[in-house]
Structure 1
Amino acid sequence: MNEARLFNRHHLPFPLSDARRVTKAVRFVQIACCLGVAAICLTARADETAQQSRELHMLHGHKRWVLSVAISPDSHWLVSGGDDQTLRLWNLKTGAAARTLRRYDSAVTAVVFHPDGKRIAVGTYGGELGICDAASGKMLREFEGHKESITVLRFDPTGKYLASGSADDTLVVWDASDGEALITLQQGNEYDVTTAAFSPNGQRIVTGDGENELKVWDAASGEEVRTLRGHSETVTSVAFSPSGKQIVSASWDDTLRLWNAGSGDEVHTLRGHTADITSVLFTPDGSRIVSAGEDKAVRIWDAQTYKLLTSFQAQDDSMMCLAISPNGRYLAGGSKEVIRVWKLQ
């Protein structure tokens, strides 16, 4: 249901270049010097305490970066895709590894549960796209059409349609039952479709791209409704609020932006992350916004007042992807070789 994943620079299934990291590190050091070492230490201790009080499980099994995670509609299972070319299933409540569902010829870059919880859509860096059985991993249907890596997958609320974004600059809406390509959305530039989301009523699709823009589309006709401009770098993640009235987007410009879904007006900009933001989503009740990124931190914001409620250091390495359970109790985040699960309530 609520799944969010990372689109990486240059389509690479690993974090940013060393040059980018050095630039951002210098900026962070400059800020740190101004604030003082003592304040940094106090923040680190507070972050550590918050993390310890939240963290339920550390899931080990992937041998490289975890690129995508999703949680089943019943909030019992977690599926993960990794740079180690595996699709893995976990018991979310116990943290136990259930099984390795499938192995692929390239990195698994996008995963999402079908609304019935019995099927999983999977996309890879090599452009493979299919739906497999959630229990056995057996391939049920393959989809042919994308020419490059799959960057994002979303089912519409009914589960009848599957939307797939790709590095080939298109988003395709498929009939999930027979694999027919129904609509192909052209982003209108030479940059990848980096992220996408269906509105709660399934009538709209919002996409993000490498040219810093978001576009809202009519899901039935494929007509472009409007373009949202405001970010200064690549849009990495996007989500509709449960009410469908707002859109939140994340970017490499280190900001989150709130948009009025009806008018397209920018409502607010959330600042606080100190590096590229890779994932953002609303909690199922719509009261909070959760974000994470290259600064290794998870931040939770009030969706009404836009105030930062809490933040905590989540990983030893960059956060690549996030998922929230439909019951709102669990938050999962993928990083290098590990998935962490936290308690939200």
Structure 2
Amino acid sequence: MEKKILYKPSCSLPSPLTCLSMDLQGKRVACGTKDAKIILVSLKTGKPLRTIKGHRNMVSAAAFVENGKRLISSSWDRTTRIWNGANEAQENRILKHESEVKALAVDSESSKGAAGARDGEVKIFSIGSLKCIRNLRAHRLDISGLAFTSDGSKLVTASWDGSARLWDLGSYDPIRTLARQKERIRSM
């Protein structure tokens, strides 16, 4: 079986990559960097389109929403930010966290997001306003992964404490623990 490289950047990036997110159209990828930037790269040409600046520490997660009209990013600067997808300008909305943000998820309708931090807390927020809807004290240690169910009614959280939990987003109560182990869950 022949191996093919689907994407090889034709540019060298100035800082190590920390996260990637591709838009739904498959035209752009947002590359979060260790030096607090987001570099938008064309998948057609492999060349950078723009560099987004605004975070003050490593970008840990990014997600395109609303068919690429907006981009959400989280960072070790303890913020989640939203950017206009057309001009990549930061919208005047910042969600602040108590510790470094390590994971980000968006529901399929692009109406709700979840950002998980190093202190084990998950903030559920409205994508339209970037206002916090609910804080979940989800785990004892770092949140390493988040995922919404397809209908947006539940959220799975994973943590360095070795557990993964399923949450009901109507009551914001845990439904069950899906995994419990001694080793960290590093991603989801």
Normalising by structure 1, report the TM-score: 0.52
C-alpha distance in structure 1 between counterparts of 2:81 and 2:45, whole Å: 27
Tell me the equivalent position of 1:241: 107
Give matches, 1:88-107, under 5 Å.
none
Assess, with a 3 A threshold, how the Cα gap between structure 1 residues 237 and 145 changes in structure 2: closer, same or farther.
same
Is 1:177 the counterpart of 2:44 in the alignment? yes
Stretches (4+) displaced over 4 A:
none
Tell me the equivalent position of 1:285: 151
C-alpha distance in structure 2 between counterparts of 1:219 and 1:192, whole Å: 20
Shift of 1:316: 3.4
1:295 to 143, 161, 184: 161
Higher normalized contact order (CA 8 Å, seq sep 6+, divided by chain length): 1
Aligned partners of 1:297 and 1:313 also within 8 Å? yes
Aligned partners of 2:95 and 2:130 also within 8 Å? no
Q: Name the SS of the counterpart of 1:162 in structure 2.
A: strand
Q: Name the SS of the counterpart of 2:113 in structure 1.
A: strand
Q: Name the SS of the counterpart of 2:87 in structure 1.
A: coil
Tell me the equivalent position of 2:18: 151
Tell me the equivalent position of 1:208: 74
Q: Name the SS of the counterpart of 2:14 in structure 1.
A: coil
Letter in 2 for 1:285: D
C-alpha distance in structure 2 between counterparts of 1:288 and 1:137, whole Å: 37
User: Root-mean-square deviation (CA), in Å?
Assistant: 1.8
Query: Between Structure 1 and Structure 2, whose CA radius of gyration is higher?
Result: 1
Shift of 1:137: 4.2
Assess, with a 3 A threshold, how the Cα gap between structure 1 residues 204 and 139 changes in structure 2: closer, same or farther.
closer
Assess, with a 3 A threshold, how the Cα gap between structure 1 residues 313 and 240 changes in structure 2: closer, same or farther.
closer
C-alpha distance in structure 2 between counterparts of 1:138 and 1:229, whole Å: 37
Assess, with a 3 A threshold, how the Cα gap between structure 1 residues 177 and 319 changes in structure 2: closer, same or farther.
same
C-alpha distance in structure 2 between counterparts of 1:228 and 1:301, whole Å: 25
Aligned partners of 2:122 and 2:138 also within 8 Å? no
Shift of 1:314: 4.0
1:186 to 36, 47, 53: 53
Assess, with a 3 A threshold, how the Cα gap between structure 1 residues 284 and 136 changes in structure 2: closer, same or farther.
farther
Shift of 1:278: 1.3
Shift of 1:267: 0.5
Assess, with a 3 A threshold, how the Cα gap between structure 1 residues 270 and 183 changes in structure 2: closer, same or farther.
same
Name the structure where helix makes up a greater proportion of residues. 1
Letter in 2 for 1:236: K
Q: Name the SS of the counterpart of 1:142 in structure 2.
A: coil
Aligned length: 188
C-alpha distance in structure 1 between counterparts of 2:108 and 2:144, whole Å: 21
Shift of 1:227: 3.4
Q: Name the SS of the counterpart of 1:317 in structure 2.
A: coil
Shift of 1:140: 4.5
